[in-house]
Amino acid sequence: MTTPTHLFDVLVIGSGAAGMTLALQLTRDYRIAILSKDEPNEGSTYYAQGGVAAVLDEYDSMESHIQDTLIAGAGLCHQEIVKFTVKQSPQIINWLVEKGVNFDKEPGATGNNQFHLTKEGGHSHRRVIHAADATGKEIALTLYDALNENSNISFFKQFVAVDLVNAHNIGHKGNECLGAYVLNLETGKVELFRANYVIIATGGASKVYLYTSNPDTASGDGIAMAWRAGCRVANLEFNQFHPTCLYHPEAKSFLISEALRGEGAKLVLPDRKEFMHRFDARAELAPRDIVARAIDHEMKRLGCDCVYLDISHKPSKFIKDHFPNIYARCFELGIDITTTPIPIVPAAHYTCGGILTDINGKTDVPNLYAIGESSFTGLHGANRMASNSLLECMVFASAAAKHIMMQPKVKSHMPKVPMWDDSQVTNSIEDITISHNWDELRRFMWDYVGIVRTDKRLQRARRRVQLLQQEVSEYYSNYRISSDLLELRNLITVADLIIQSAIRRKESRGLHFTLDHPNLLEGAKDTVLIPPNFG
């Protein structure tokens, strides 16, 4: 049977801030396809609450933002990348304002220089520009509207990338990326997307953990596909756990923005005693790794299911004006945050490592770029500072777009790509295998590769993930693929990479904390993994 084939200049896998920014930054003579495995705005960008870190105030400085980022990154940030990113921040904000993003302004302000800025953990100044407590939603919807005005951009909804097509894996010389095989969820058929340039903008892999603040789309697809295609990955042991997710049976890990702590909210125990001052002089505004470990410590010490975040000492109007969505969601669940502390727990939130790229988003594979949370640029080091993530998405999307436009638009030779062959597989009657393995993976990753680690826990996790790899590989070879199977396959791959990376780091640094190696080593080094058969 013939595989449907699509031809584009640029294929963007992922529809968050990174992917949409790149598409909008390219000139309109590029034919662009954007793949979205759910609705276009069902990704981490849409649910981002806090804002975008940028130097916009006369009392702030580029050097201050750079130093704050380097300190939060615990010695592993790449200084030239940090400087490059921070210096682009005003331009990115101006571009978003031009596109129509409606950031909050100070009362009575009319000009673009009168934005309301908030302060979050790790920042020494108020520099987080936001749209109430739904900044990601405002950015995502604005960029999506702008994309719909461009006739050169085509959205493909309910399309899940299966694997990248690269020359090495189809018997050709070299290893250039030629496109991707993609599952059309509506038809159940795999289609071929050919493109001169392919961009991975699929987000992170926090769904590998049992508890996560991320939407269901965060299954590490791009990282796993890039690894199979021959890309190195780096620093995947650094998984950021957001300290404050709503603890409620109906909340589905609803995030409570760090901006609450920036505006004075206090972390308290069940008896309402504050505790963060015992762990760090910065208390609630310490970097996320410190706050998450402190909460984890107190919950284990007391045997309690959660701790609490209390902003009820602030005026009711202030809370409702600044955090309308958090107030409304909590109120729906019977929690009035103007009078009552919010029950919270840490949850997996951000993948600091990823596909190794250069300053233009280029990976090891020719014609393949990675941007946003799926990439490793060197910006975040061992711990991402709050609100640097959306900034990174858009800075490196812009850099990648500029680099693509400097390359030949049309390739002189496009090797023939074989059609997708599913003639030897059958429909599965054993889907219980997927759901069981899915649950097992996320539970042992949470228990053994979570906020606090040990050598023994990591080795246990490695043995279990190797068994799952064997089972899923056999399943993948014999049955027709589905979205759940693809996500499970990718999560197992990324889980193994996370575990391998964690085993290699014999120290505690930033987000990687191990009881067996509690001290810092001299000389910070990235953990770089090289795919077999590509080294």
Catalytic residues: 288
Give the three-class secondary structure for 351.
strand
Q: Measured between alpha carbons, how far is 9 from 24 in angstroms, rounded to an integer?
A: 14
* Cβ atoms < 10 Å from Cβ of 83: 17
Q: What is the DSSP string of 203-239?
A: ---GGGSSSBSS-TT-S-HHHHHHHHHT--EE-TT-E
- Contact by Cβ (8 Å): 59, 110: no
* Cβ atoms < 10 Å from Cβ of 394: 29
Output the six-digit token pair for 304: 């309690």
Q: Measured between alpha carbons, how far is 174 from 150 in angstroms, rounded to an integer?
A: 34
Nearest to 48 by CA among 134, 132, 144: 134
| Chain-centroid distance, C-alpha 344 | 21
- The pairing of strands 32-36 and 5-13 is parallel
Q: Measured between alpha carbons, how far is 390 from 383 in angstroms, rounded to an integer?
A: 15
- Using the CB atoms, write b or e for 52-61: b if 16+ within 10 Å: bbbbbeeebe
Q: Which residue has the tokens 């990235």?
A: 526
Q: Measured between alpha carbons, how far is 194 from 176 in angstroms, rounded to an integer?
A: 12
From residue 155, give the alpha-carbon distance in Å to each of 31, 291, 375.
Answer: 11, 40, 22
Cα-Cα-Cα-Cα torsion 484, 486, 490, 495, nearest 10 degrees, comes to: 30
End-to-end, the C-alpha distance of the chain in Å comes to 36
Q: Which residues contact 396 (CB under 8 A, 6 or more apart)?
A: 18, 85, 357, 359, 360, 361, 371, 372, 375, 377
Output the six-digit token pair for 534: 């590509």
